[in-house]
Structure 1
Amino acid sequence: MTEAAPASRPDRPSPRTAFLLTQLGAHAADLFAVRVAELGVTPRVAGALRVLGRNPGISQRELATLLGTVPSRLVSLVDDLERWGWVERIRSPKDRRNYELELTQAGRTLLSQLRGVAESHQADLLEPLDEAEQAQLSHLLSKLAASSGMSPDGHSGYREQRDVGERAAGEQPRRSERPRRSERPRGSARSRGSARDDPQS
């Protein structure tokens, strides 16, 4: 006879809370990856565009800080964003040795589409909760994230694995991170470019 699981008490946290957070986080991440793939991008690309949309004109170093990583991890990603026509590097008027990152018109169009995807994604995930429960959940998750020292815009995909060394600057992004020509959003300035502009090698 199978032994019944002990009933949880509403006045005490479940011993499975951390496990459930992990499960829900993985589930949410997987669903988001599927949704943004329909626009031809990965969550890493979507996250970088979101931060640049909120902070126009920041440097690559500042972008890395906001994403919770180091600049060398973003070299190839920013190179590709520029090559795909979504981001441009502009010489800083404050320091001619540095560049500022700005979204192009195609990048802003893509970001607008991504915001719509993110809103639908959140609405679907939180649909079982009422408005008060959603607000409480947001507050509690923000409190946990802050206590863990997590960047609000950080993501495990950007995190530096210091125990295995930094990813070499200039290394080509993984094949799965490069959108195929047929998958790129219509707003991309490169969507009708020549074969050499195609990020798929």
Structure 2
Amino acid sequence: MRQRHGSDDMPTMGQMRMLAMLAARPWSLSELAAAHQVTPSSMSRTVDVLVQRTWVERTTAPDDRRKVVLRLTPAGYAAHIAIRDAAREAAARLIEQLDERQRVHLHEGLSALRELVDHACSMPIEPVSGETR
């Protein structure tokens, strides 16, 4: 999407993933670092970019003032939704170019991939709204 839009304003894949994770729930900095398999200081630098864009805010946990909790701001939710919708539209345009046989193969392949990921991950992938398994 960054290449298609030709803009450095477009978030990176890692930033888009982080927006999606934070849209689901608040995360601590250490949880995000562990989920991305990076050090907390590396994750902090990544989060800095999202904070500068006013998409993410840092707060302290009510039960532990040493713990940093990250939440999406209203602008962050809006960015997440806009990016998600643009990605879905781009994927839909690509899929529309496939014939019925190719669509069936694509669905079968993605279903097999989902099963593999669900078994490999401790957190199964939740269905997208309107999607059936």
The TM-score normalised by the length of structure 1 is 0.50
1:156-195 aligned at under 5 Å gives the runs none
Match of 2:112 in 1: 140
Please state how far the C-alpha of 1:86 moved relative to its aligned partner: 0.9
- Between 1 and 2, higher relative CO (CA 8 Å, sep ≥ 6) is seen in 1
Structure 1 unaligned blocks of 5 or more:
1-31, 154-201
Please state how far the C-alpha of 1:112 moved relative to its aligned partner: 1.2
Match of 1:118 in 2: 87
Please state how far the C-alpha of 1:36 moved relative to its aligned partner: 6.3
Secondary structure, counterpart of 1:97 in structure 2: strand
User: Structure 1's 119 and 82: CA in aligned 2 closer, same or farther, altered over 3 A?
Assistant: same
1:1-201 aligned at under 5 Å gives the runs 32-35=1-4, 38=7, 40-55=10-25, 57-127=26-96, 128=98, 130=100, 132-145=104-117
Q: Whose helix proportion is higher, 1 or 2?
A: 2
Query: Which amino acid is the alignment partner of residue 118 of structure 1?
Result: A
Deviations 1:88-123 (A, max 9, x none): 001101211101111111111111110111211322
RMSD: 3.0
- Structure 2: how far apart are the matches of 1:60 and 1:129? 44
Deviations 1:119-140 (A, max 9, x none): 1132234331646444322211
Please state how far the C-alpha of 1:34 moved relative to its aligned partner: 2.2
Paired-residue identity, %: 28
The TM-score normalised by the length of structure 2 is 0.71
Deviations 1:65-101 (A, max 9, x none): 3334443331211112112211000110121110111
Equivalenced residue count is: 121
Query: Which amino acid is the alignment partner of residue 114 of structure 1?
Result: I
Secondary structure, counterpart of 2:54 in structure 1: coil
On the 8 A contact 1:49/1:111 being kept in 2, the answer is: yes
